[in-house]
Amino acid sequence: MIRAELLKLTTTRGPKIAVAVGVLGVAATQLASGWLLPAISHVDPDLAASVEEMATSSPEQQLAALNVLGGGGALGSGSVSIGLVAVLLLGALIATSDYRHGGIVTSALAAPQRGRIMAAKIGVAVLALAVTGIAYALVQGILVALAPSTLGAGGFSANWLEGADVLGRGVLTLLPLGILGLAAGMLIRSQTATFLVLIGAAVADVTAGAFLALVPATREWAGYTPLSLVSTATGPEGGWAAVLALGVLAMMALVAAVAAWLTLRRRDL
Amino acid sequence: MSSDSAIQIENLDKSFGSTHAVTDVSFTAAAGRVLALLGPNGAGKTTTMRILLGLVRPDSGKALITGRSYAEIQNPARQIGAVLDSGGLHPGRTGRQHLAITAAMIGQGRERVSAVLEEVGLTDSADRATSGYSLGMRQRLALANALLGEPSVLVLDEPANGLDPAGIRWLRQYLRAFATRGGTVLISTHVLTEVSLVADDVVIIDRGRSLVSGALDQLTSVQGHDLEQLYLSMTSTQSGPASMSSPNLLTESETLR
């Protein structure tokens, strides 16, 4: 069943486009903060402060910039990046393509217990997300290492292990995000509706996070919205906070996947 | 259940919300025979087939293939081939890719994919995207998909839809040969002339109820009608379901074999 799901993934353009958009988004964000803004900073004196903030001269700045879902430390915290949306949609595509084109019936005829369908989809999603994450990490790592402010400061000076840790956590964080997209697709079925729900949820998360952070009584909770957890999991600080955030994201994905499986098991097709 | 019943449908009920799709449908299909499920649009034929194939859960009743529900059969696609509609095709994939995906699901190899493409006459178009396929070609691909597992039971919902005359003839001959080899065919169709040429047995279903079932030649000879007259008198496609009040027609409880 996994081989069949892999064939489904590789014989259509949608997933490839989602990965390409994600990789280009990661690259474009890094190019904008590392190349474009410094190049035009002379136009507006106020821009110079932002450029200084986003520079990758020091080891700390370089580690912050390696966040694959942040696109540079200053752009990262709790925001919706192109790379993040692409990963959500990639997961959704793996689920909804079958419903859109009727392939779910063929799958259910081959595996009437349907648990194998869900397991195969999750397996293929993990594989696709890992490949996507590695592509993100390579692009991000190369662009940070070659950024003018990195080279101007004598090259990449952060600890390599710490750099690999930041990039690795970024890749791992993509997995629960993609599974959440997959589960949403299995539950909603309609491709367009799933995309709208996922993008809407991501935007609502940013708004909710900002609102929680503004109100003193709820300020503590602002760090527990999914996007804040993503930020903590992928951020340069790492440590137990990142592990905990990654664990909570994984639990969310697991709950969503179980809900999707139970629904698939009972659903008339 | 009789020992030669490959398919057994017993007191099947299914409602979707307030709509009764299937109400107390019962019939059996024997090995080595072609059974045609006849009925107007919305009669419950497709729902009955989907329940049989484990795609829809019945509210009550049984739908068994060789004595087991579809979900209980190990690798069922190797024993049962199904055509439910000519959809289910991603327009960007080629015919061969579609079959390769199903083959991977059921543990068949590339040789079998090539063999069924040859069997349904799609070899020349196999590597074209299905977006360019005609309805008849899509139907042939759906048939190829059903045949991939070398099944002994075929469940076909309107398989002749979109086929050209040569395709219809090929399908008829294929199904007859399949049954002669001991296979079981359950087919739903509106084309009564085809039914009379291909089917051994018929079940007429209307408004979710099975009205009559039995061997086609016996039904038509006992009733003194041809198949079209029988069908129209039994179903609500005319002024109304005169069937049940017609004194010389057999009801489900009077099944002929």
- Asked if B24 and B73 count as a contact pair (C-beta separation under 8 A), the reply is no
> In this structure, is residue B195 part of a structural domain?
yes
pLDDT of residue A123: 96
Is the CB of residue A157 less than 8 Å away from at least one CB of chain B? Answer: no
A4: nearest CB among B54, B101, B145: B101
For A8, the closest chain B residue by CA position comes to B101
pLDDT bin (cut points 50, 70, 90) of residue A73 is very low
Chain A contact set for B101 (CB, 8 A): 4, 7-8, 11, 103, 106
A113: nearest CB among B71, B90, B106: B71
The percent of residues above 70 in pLDDT, for chain A, comes to 97
> In this structure, is residue B244 part of a structural domain?
yes
Chain A contact set for B106 (CB, 8 A): 110
For A268, the closest chain B residue by CA position comes to B56
Query: pLDDT tens digits for A142-199?
Result: 999 999 888 888 888 989 999 999 999 999 999 999 999 999 999 999 999 999 999 9
Which residues neighbour A154 within 8 Å (Cβ) at sequence distance 6 or greater?
none
Q: Among the listed ranges A69-78, A115-124, A164-173, B212-221, which one has the minimum average pLDDT value? A: A69-78
**Size of the A and B interface in Cβ pairs below 8 Å:** 76
**CA A227 distance to own-chain centroid:** 10
Q: Residue B254 pLDDT more than 50?
A: no
Q: How many domains does chain B have?
A: 1
- Asked if B63 and B205 count as a contact pair (C-beta separation under 8 A), the reply is no
Is the CB of residue A121 less than 8 Å away from at least one CB of chain B? Answer: no
Chain A contact set for B82 (CB, 8 A): 109
pLDDT bin (cut points 50, 70, 90) of residue B247 is very low
Is the CB of residue B85 less than 8 Å away from at least one CB of chain A? Answer: yes
> In this structure, is residue B254 part of a structural domain?
yes
Instruction: Tell me how close the Cα of A136 comes to any Cα of chain B, in angstroms.
Output: 27
Q: Residue B251 pLDDT more than 70?
A: no
For A97, the closest chain B residue by CA position comes to B90
Query: pLDDT tens digits for A107-137?
Result: 999 999 899 999 999 999 999 999 999 999 9
Q: At what angle do helices B216-223 and B227-234 cross, to 10 degrees?
A: 80
Does the distance separating the beta carbons of B97 and A109 come in below 8 Å?
no
B53: nearest CB among A3, A97, A109: A109
> In this structure, is residue B73 part of a structural domain?
yes
For A13, the closest chain B residue by CA position comes to B92
Using only the alpha carbons of chain B, give its radius of gyration.
18
Is the CB of residue A241 less than 8 Å away from at least one CB of chain B? Answer: no
Does the distance separating the beta carbons of A7 and B57 come in below 8 Å?
no
Helices and strands, number each (H, E), in chain B? 8, 9
* Element of type H or E holding B221: helix B216-223
Does the distance separating the beta carbons of B93 and A110 come in below 8 Å?
no
Does the distance separating the beta carbons of B54 and A112 come in below 8 Å?
yes
pLDDT bin (cut points 50, 70, 90) of residue B243 is very low
Rounded to whole angstroms, how far apart are CA atoms B63 and A158? 66
pLDDT of residue A56: 86
Q: Residue B203 pLDDT more than 60?
A: yes
> In this structure, is residue B240 part of a structural domain?
yes
Could you list the residue range(s) of the whole structural domain that residue B17 is in?
Answer: 1-77+188-257
Does the distance separating the beta carbons of B84 and A101 come in below 8 Å?
no
* Residue B32 main-chain phi, psi, to 5 deg: 80, 10
> In this structure, is residue B156 part of a structural domain?
no
> In this structure, is residue B145 part of a structural domain?
no
Query: pLDDT tens digits for B67-106?
Result: 999 999 988 999 999 998 756 789 999 999 999 999 999 9
A106: nearest CB among B50, B75, B88: B88
Q: Residue B256 pLDDT more than 70?
A: no
Is the CB of residue A262 less than 8 Å away from at least one CB of chain B? Answer: no
Is the CB of residue A191 less than 8 Å away from at least one CB of chain B? Answer: no
pLDDT bin (cut points 50, 70, 90) of residue B191 is confident
The CATH number covering residue B192 comes to: 3.40.50.300
DSSP state of A181: H
Q: At what angle do helices A103-110 and B95-106 cross, to 10 degrees?
A: 30
Q: Residue B240 pLDDT more than 70?
A: no
pLDDT bin (cut points 50, 70, 90) of residue A44 is confident
> What mean pLDDT is reported for chain B?
86
> In this structure, is residue B179 part of a structural domain?
no
pLDDT bin (cut points 50, 70, 90) of residue B252 is very low
